[in-house]
Structure 1
Amino acid sequence: MSEERPTSRAPAPPDVESQGPPADPESVARKILLDALTGQARSRKELADKLAKKDVPAELAERLLDRFEEVGLIDDEAFARAWIASRQPGKGLARRALAQELRRKGIVDDVAREALDEIDPGDEEAAARILVRKKLRSLAGVDQHKATRRLVGLLARKGYGGAMAFAIVKEELRQHGEEQLDLHPDAFAGE
């Protein structure tokens, strides 16, 4: 008994006429830029990388990026300020970590420095304290030496310098210890 095997058919070739004329490279590149800018600002480098990834010719990409910059759709200074405003309080990042992120985004050092200079040192310290206080909750029962090491490491990963990190951690641990004493005074009644 012979089995009938289904015959495999090659897909039909695309109907070139129904696809219309080939897209204009400039229109395609312009659409790529506009789509990338929809919803959030991007740096010029991010957009240039996106165009390069889509094989847009370098000369065309440069011309379009210049034009988008002229009309204000690309503004690395505004991008840097907005990036800092969203990342510094929300993630608790220090200047050094923010500078690294901006560098990766293609923001030149002068523009980044100008935007970073707008950070209030008090806000930076407050963000570090918030990070330490949140982490302290999970360090109950950990000895002070180990807690200090972990908290300073946390701040270092967020870009805070050693002197600032140690000072904040020391003060927050002291305050945390006093709060613990205030909450449980009879725990030390026999001493």
Structure 2
Amino acid sequence: MSGDQWAIMPAAIVKALGLQVGDTIALDEVLVRRLEIEPQHARERAFRLLAYRERSTTEMADRLTDDGYLQSIVADTVSWLTDTGLLDDERFAEQMARTMIILRGFGRQRALRELRRFGIVDDCAARALDAVAPAEGEDERAFEMARRLSRPSDSVDRLAARLVRRGFSTSDALKAARSCVSPSGTAEPEDAC
């Protein structure tokens, strides 16, 4: 290596600093100017992300970090968004749980995995799932999903496997599949199950 100093920064910051390819710059001077303008750019980026859809605090921090913002700026931005109520993991978890359970037909296990993937802690995810789909009704939701997913050529195992992939427990999936597949091994008409 030539010993030259370098830094990675978001394209918006490079543009705001007026830097061009081939410019020779004093890194210290650029870093000072960067610290002056980066917080506003990070907030604007966060607003654009939130305009698209709700985000978890972990997801927002990851996106800003991936965009190249400094860790201290990311932490300050996420903290500010949380303090103002623009980021709220409880609200996000409940909204996502509602989408996954009601609209997409996921079982609690899959919804929990998805919430964890978004960075939602288990306690918060459990509260959101309990509010949307209490554990006591999981067998009924599996039965309803079995009715929706059943095909005339389905076997119990095939239908149960689709339910398990959607996040229903194996026992709930098997009970629901058995109720929708006739003793001859084929799915009953939707009205029958």
TM-score, length basis structure 1:
0.73
Runs of 4+ in 1 over 6 A off after TM superposition: 178-181
- Separation in 1, partners of 2:89, 2:102: 20
Call closer, same or farther: CA 1:108–1:180 in 2, change over 3 Å: closer
Which residue among 141, 144, 147 is the counterpart of 1:127?
A: 141
Amino acid at match of 1:33: A
SS of the residue corresponding to residue 155 of structure 2 reads helix
- Separation in 2, partners of 1:131, 1:122: 16
Matches within 5 A, 1:176-187: 177=188
Matches within 5 A, 1:139-158: 140=152, 142=153, 147-158=155-166
Q: How far 1:48 sits from its partner (Å)? A: 0.5
Call closer, same or farther: CA 1:116–1:37 in 2, change over 3 Å: same
Residue by residue over 1:58-102, the C-alpha shift from the partner in whole angstroms, topping out at 9 and shown as x without a partner, is: 011101111110010000000000001111011111111011001
What value does the CA root-mean-square deviation take over the aligned residues?
2.5
Call closer, same or farther: CA 1:53–1:20 in 2, change over 3 Å: closer
Call closer, same or farther: CA 1:20–1:167 in 2, change over 3 Å: closer
Query: Corresponding residue for 1:47?
Result: 60
Which residue among 69, 75, 78 is the counterpart of 2:88?
A: 75
5+ unaligned residues in a row in structure 2: which ranges? Answer: 1-14, 19-33
Call closer, same or farther: CA 1:58–1:148 in 2, change over 3 Å: same
TM-score, length basis structure 2:
0.72
Q: How far 1:36 sits from its partner (Å)? A: 0.3
Call closer, same or farther: CA 1:79–1:170 in 2, change over 3 Å: same
SS of the residue corresponding to residue 159 of structure 1 reads coil
SS of the residue corresponding to residue 117 of structure 1 reads helix
Query: What count of residue pairs does the alignment treat as equivalent?
Result: 157
5+ unaligned residues in a row in structure 1: which ranges? Answer: 1-18, 182-191
- Separation in 1, partners of 2:165, 2:138: 14
